[in-house]
Each structure stands twice: as C-alpha cells, then as structure tokens.
Amino acid sequence: MKVVAGRKQAVNIQLNYSVPTLTNLAFIPKNRATKAVFDGWKIDAILSYFSGNPDAPSCSVASGAPAGAFSGQDGVGGGVSYRCQQTGPVFLPAGTGPSTTNDNNITNSTFDRSLFYPINAASFSLPPLSSNGYGNEPQVDFWGPGYENEDVSVYKSFMLKKENQKLTMRADITNIRNHFNPGDPSETLSINYLTNVNTSTTFGQITGATGSPRAMALSLRLAF
C-alpha cells in the first residue's frame, strides 16, 4: 500500500514587481516614444518548490495464484495493493544498476541511469497468506523526485486618448526555465505467485514527467 500524499516540504512564493522607470537613466532619452517602450512594466511570478512524494514498492500477483487466493484484501475484489514483505535493503549497492541477479528484470542497456531509482527488487516479495496482504514493509521506504517550477507574467498598460480606454500588453510564460520535473518511479512488482519472480520490465524506472514544458502566450486587452 502506497501513501499518495504528504510531501515533507512545499514552498509557494508569489511575487509582484514594478520595474523602475528606465527613462530616468542618463543613457536613455526621455520622450513619449521611450516612455512607451521602457516605462511602466510590471512582473508577476509564482514560484513553486516541493520535495518528493513519499513512496514505497507495492507487490501484485502477475500469475500463478492458487484458486481462492486473496487480492490485496482477503475476500475484497479490487482491494488495495499488497504491502510487500521486505527482507533486505531498499536500494542496490552504490554504483550498481539492475541485472538479472537482482531480479529487476531489465538490463543496463535498456534504461537511462539518471531516470532510474536503484530499488533492490530482490528485497521485496509477496507477503505471507496469514498477513491478509499486509507485509512488514513500511508505508514510506523512500522519497520521489522533487518539483521546481516558475511561472512569470510581464505586462504593461497604455492609456489611450480617452481616460476610460486602456490597452494592456501581456506575456505569460509557464515553466520559464523549461525545467524537467521527473515523475515518481514505477514501484509495482508483478510477481509470479509460485516462483516469486518479478515480471515487471519498468520497475524502478521513471517513465513520465510532472508538469509541462515551457510555454508562452502573448495577449492584448482593450478596456473601454
């Protein structure tokens, strides 16, 4: 069973900034044209920084289960995933990757090491029948990747001839640094009930992203 919420740290910062009057600088001439170009700009920003999600492997039966075996919760169809029986360290030794010997079921040539959590699949197995699907594994074994994002808006309003007329030029940029935020690694072991062999080919791999890449929208708004 995996905890799906509860990041340790979450920081959201909202900024509002009025850019100084640039035509006050000596090297910028002050006239109607330069004021229109350089003065009156404002910047809004929302900065978000989160630590990773609490994660733990979960175990599921891929094949070989005897008739009448429970699925997650005894007698409850579609019950919660098994909480694995943990018998060893969460991670592989430092500097090593998956191989057939640790039963991650993938080879060094098939994954990007920077997008892989070296979870030691051999340390996890199906819980005993007497546990009703709840092994001794903690609810949180490790923490997933963190999240960073900055959304920025730059805008300026121009007063038109009439006092009640205003034109606003605006640029909205999401994820301005185009920062890649990896998703959580695949944490479900698909285990043959009889042999206890994992058949998942993606266990430990990060196969998705959180959030979206950088995007920009330009807009003009006329108020009258």
Q: What is the pLDDT of residue 70?
A: 59
- The structure tokens listed for 170 are 């605006």
Q: What is the pLDDT of residue 102?
A: 47
- The structure tokens listed for 208 are 């998705």
- The structure tokens listed for 69 are 């075996």
Higher pLDDT, 151 or 197: 151
Q: Please, which residues have CB within 8 angstroms of residue 1's CB and are 6 or more apart in sequence? A: 56, 58, 80, 81, 82, 83, 134, 139
Q: How many residues would you count in the chain?
A: 224
Q: What is the pLDDT of residue 74?
A: 52
- The structure tokens listed for 117 are 């959590």
Q: Given pLDDT bands bounded at 50, 70 and 90, which one contains residue 152?
A: very high
Q: What is the pLDDT of residue 77?
A: 55
Beta bridge partners of 55: 142
Digit-coded pLDDT (tens) for 78-94: 556 678 999 999 998 87
Digit-coded pLDDT (tens) for 176-216: 999 999 999 999 888 888 888 888 888 888 988 999 999 99
**Element spanning 18, H or E:** strand 10-18
Residue type, 128: P
- The structure tokens listed for 120 are 């030691």
Give the whole-angstrom CA distance, residue 128 versus residue 151: 49
Give the whole-angstrom CA distance, residue 120 versus residue 128: 20
Q: Which of 46, 50, 49, 48 is nearest to 172 (CA)?
A: 46
Q: Which of 116, 140, 107, 2 is nearest to 59 (CA)?
A: 2
